[in-house]
Structure 1
C-alpha cells in the first residue's frame, strides 16, 4: 500500500487561510520551523507572508537556506529586496530569522549538497512541532535533499512535515536556463546506481514533461539508456491546450528518437503532486509485475522537467522506492529572466499557494 494513497493538500489562498486559522487555533503554542530559500524569485516570501498575515501570533523561527552563486548574482537587487522584505516581516510578526544555512559549493555541487544535508541534520529540533519547507525559491537538487533529510530523520516521530510552494507556470517559463551541466542523478536520489552498474539493468525512463526542456531531455536520453519510456504530461491544466502544445514542442523527440506510441504517454493533473505520485507508484508496480521475471534489477529514471509543484510527486515516489528510483535533473550554470524585471515581479500577483502535508498527525 502506498504511503500517500490518502493525502492532505490545500490549494488557493482562502483554503489555506481556513486551514491555518483552524489548525493553530487548536494549539497556538506549537513551535514552527519555517525553512525557505534565499533567492531572486519574487515568490520567495509569498507563503510566509500568507501564514503570518493569517495567524499573527506564532511561535516560529525562520531558517534561510543560502546557496552561493558564481561571482556576483545577476539579480542581486532582487535577492536583497526579498531579504529586506523578510526582515520587515520578522520585526512586524515577532519571529526570528536564524543564521543562514550556507553550504560550501566552492568545490563540486555534490559536495555542497552533502555539506548542506550534514548542517541540516545537526540543527537542534528540540521542541519543534511543525516543520514547513517552502520550496518556492530553492533549486530542485537542494529542496529534494532537504525534504529527504527531514523525512529520514523524523518519519518515525511525531513531527509534522509540510511543504509549500507558490505556483506560477508563467513565471516558471519566464526563467530561462542557460548552459546545462552534465546530466547525473541528483545526489541522494541515484537508486544506489553508479555508471558501471547501469549495465545489465532494465532501465525505465519516466520524464515529467514541461515547457522549454527539449535540450535537457535530449541530454537525459543520451545519458540514461532506457529500455522503455513513459512520458508524463500535465493534464488537466489551467490552459486546456497545454498538453497539446507540449506534444508539438517535443514531437521530434517523441516521434523520431523515442518512436513513442500514444498509449505510452501518461497524464497527471498539473496542480496535484499526490495524484502524480499515485500514477508513478502504479506505473512502477505494473512494470515490476511484468519485468521482474525477466530481470531482477530494474531502475526507474524519473526526469523532472516540470514545475516545482509537480516535481514533489517524483520526490514522494523516490522516498517510497528509494533503491529503485533515480531522479534526473539537468542543472543549469546560469538563469535569465526573459522579460523586464518589473513585468516579471507583477506576474507574482497571480501566484497560487499550495501546501502538502507530508507526514505527521494527519497520517496516524
Structure 2
C-alpha cells in the first residue's frame, strides 16, 4: 500500500540551510513556531535558525510543568526561555501542567487546548520543533494540526523539525511515573470491542536506562509478541549492541524475543522507521485477518528522531501509542554541540504534495 508520506519532502544537515533561507525568508510567509521552552539545550536551536531569516515569525513556546524540578533544571529553562524571547519577540509562553491534581497525565490534552485557541487566519506555515517537547505533549499537538490540515488543506503548511544529538540524549535521565497509558489522541483501536481478540504486536523503542519503564509498559500492553526497535546504522557503531546487552534479560525471559524479530531502523532518518512499521502492518493484516485481526502498539521512548518516524506511522494507520510519562528529569550535561547536532526537517502537510493523497485513518475508517 502506498504511504501518505512515501515519498516525503525532507531535509537534513547542510540541506536545511538552503531550504530555510529560500523558503521561510519569503515575504509572503507568516510563520507560527511551536516548540518547548525547557532545560534541554536544543530548545533554542530551531528558533535561532529561523530568526536569522528575518521572516515574519511568531512563537508559541510550551513550558512543561512537572512536580518538584531541581533548581539546576529551572535555571537552565530560564536561560533558554530568555534566548527564545530574544530570538522571537512576538511570542507566547504557555505553561502546561503535565499531571493533574490527582496524578493523571493531562499534558497532551492541555497542550491541544492551548494550540486550539491560536488564530491561524493569516498563518501560511506552522513549524513544530519537537526537540525539547516530550512525546506526551508533541504527539497530540501534531495530531491536532494534521487533522486540521486535512479538513482544510489550503489553510497552512505543516513542518516538523528535530535537532538530533545522541550524546545529549544519553546525558538526560528521566524518572518515569508508575502509570502507563496511551498518549492523548493515540488509543487507536486498542479500546474497541472489535480489537479484543486481535493479535497484539508491541514495538518498543529501546533506550538506555529505561528497562524499568519498558517493563511496566510490557505489563500494560500485555502483547502476544514483541519486536524491539534498535538503532542501526548509528553514529556510534556499538550503540545497538550495548542496548541489546542491556536488555538481554528482557529478551530472553520477560519478553521472549526471538532475535529474528528485532527491528533495526536508521538512528538519523525518521522515514526509515516509518516505512518499516508500515511494511510490518501490511504483512500482518492478511495473516491475522481471519483470527481476530492484527493490532500493533508503539512505545517511542528513545531518540526524538525515531519517535518522529513512529509518530508518522501512528498518524497514518491510527496505531496506539503506549507511553510512560516522566515525572522528572536529571541533566547535568554540557550545552548543545552545534557541530555534532544534526537538524532534520519533515514537510508533513501542505501544498508541496499533489492531491489526492493516501488517507489518514481513525479507528480503521479513512478520515
If the length of structure 2 is used for normalisation, what is the TM-score?
Answer: 0.89
- Take 1:104 and 1:258, find their aligned partners in 2: how far apart are those partners? 30
Partner of 2:299: 303
Q: CA deviation at 1:219?
A: 1.1
Task: Tell me how many residue pairs correspond in the alignment.
Answer: 349
Partner of 1:22: 22
Helix, strand or coil: the match of 1:19?
Answer: helix
Partner of 1:130: 125
My pick for the range that moved more, 64-73 or 172-181, is 64-73
My pick for the range that moved more, 189-198 or 281-290, is 189-198
Give unmatched runs, 5+ long, in structure 1: none
- Take 2:131 and 2:226, find their aligned partners in 1: how far apart are those partners? 29
Helix, strand or coil: the match of 1:126?
Answer: coil
Aligned with 1:163 (options 153, 160, 164):
160
Q: CA deviation at 1:122?
A: 2.5
Helix, strand or coil: the match of 1:171?
Answer: helix
- Take 1:196 and 1:219, find their aligned partners in 2: how far apart are those partners? 24
Partner of 1:3: 4
Q: Contact 2:96 / 2:107 at 8 angstroms: preserved in 1?
A: no
- Take 1:16 and 1:109, find their aligned partners in 2: how far apart are those partners? 39
Helix, strand or coil: the match of 2:334?
Answer: helix
Partner of 2:364: none
Structure 1 segment 204-353 matched on structure 2, within 5 A: 204-296=201-293, 298-322=294-318, 325-337=319-331, 341=332, 343-345=333-335, 347=337, 350-353=340-343
- Take 1:200 and 1:115, find their aligned partners in 2: how far apart are those partners? 33
- Take 2:256 and 2:99, find their aligned partners in 1: how far apart are those partners? 40
My pick for the range that moved more, 98-107 or 3-12, is 98-107
Partner of 1:41: 40
Q: Contact 1:43 / 1:348 at 8 angstroms: preserved in 2?
A: no
Partner of 2:91: 97
Would the alpha carbon gap of residues 315 and 168 (structure 1) be closer, same or farther in structure 2, given more than 3 Å must change? same
Would the alpha carbon gap of residues 308 and 256 (structure 1) be closer, same or farther in structure 2, given more than 3 Å must change? same
Q: CA deviation at 1:73?
A: 4.7
- Take 2:98 and 2:216, find their aligned partners in 1: how far apart are those partners? 27
Aligned with 1:117 (options 91, 112, 127):
112
Helix, strand or coil: the match of 1:326?
Answer: coil
If the length of structure 1 is used for normalisation, what is the TM-score?
Answer: 0.89
My pick for the range that moved more, 208-217 or 34-43, is 208-217
- Give 4+ residue runs of structure 1 displaced > 6 Å after superposition: 195-198
- Take 1:291 and 1:198, find their aligned partners in 2: how far apart are those partners? 12
Would the alpha carbon gap of residues 106 and 126 (structure 1) be closer, same or farther in structure 2, given more than 3 Å must change? same
Would the alpha carbon gap of residues 346 and 36 (structure 1) be closer, same or farther in structure 2, given more than 3 Å must change? closer
Partner of 2:357: none
Helix, strand or coil: the match of 1:350?
Answer: coil
Would the alpha carbon gap of residues 333 and 350 (structure 1) be closer, same or farther in structure 2, given more than 3 Å must change? same
Partner of 1:81: 79
Helix, strand or coil: the match of 1:293?
Answer: helix
Q: CA deviation at 1:2?
A: 0.9
- Take 1:346 and 1:64, find their aligned partners in 2: how far apart are those partners? 19
Q: CA deviation at 1:114?
A: 1.9
- Take 2:193 and 2:217, find their aligned partners in 1: how far apart are those partners? 17
Q: CA deviation at 1:126?
A: 0.4
Which is helix-richer, 1 or 2?
A: 1
Q: Contact 1:191 / 1:299 at 8 angstroms: preserved in 2?
A: no
- Take 1:143 and 1:259, find their aligned partners in 2: how far apart are those partners? 32
- Take 2:98 and 2:161, find their aligned partners in 1: how far apart are those partners? 25
Q: CA deviation at 1:353?
A: 1.3
Would the alpha carbon gap of residues 77 and 59 (structure 1) be closer, same or farther in structure 2, given more than 3 Å must change? same
Helix, strand or coil: the match of 1:157?
Answer: coil
Would the alpha carbon gap of residues 197 and 76 (structure 1) be closer, same or farther in structure 2, given more than 3 Å must change? farther
Q: Deviations over 1:100-158 (max 9, x none)?
A: 26458443544443232123122110010100001111111000011001001112412
Helix, strand or coil: the match of 1:28?
Answer: coil
Structure 1 segment 178-193 matched on structure 2, within 5 A: 178-193=175-190
Q: Deviations over 1:203-236 (max 9, x none)?
A: 1111122222211221112111111222221111
Partner of 1:363: 353
- Take 2:11 and 2:62, find their aligned partners in 1: how far apart are those partners? 24
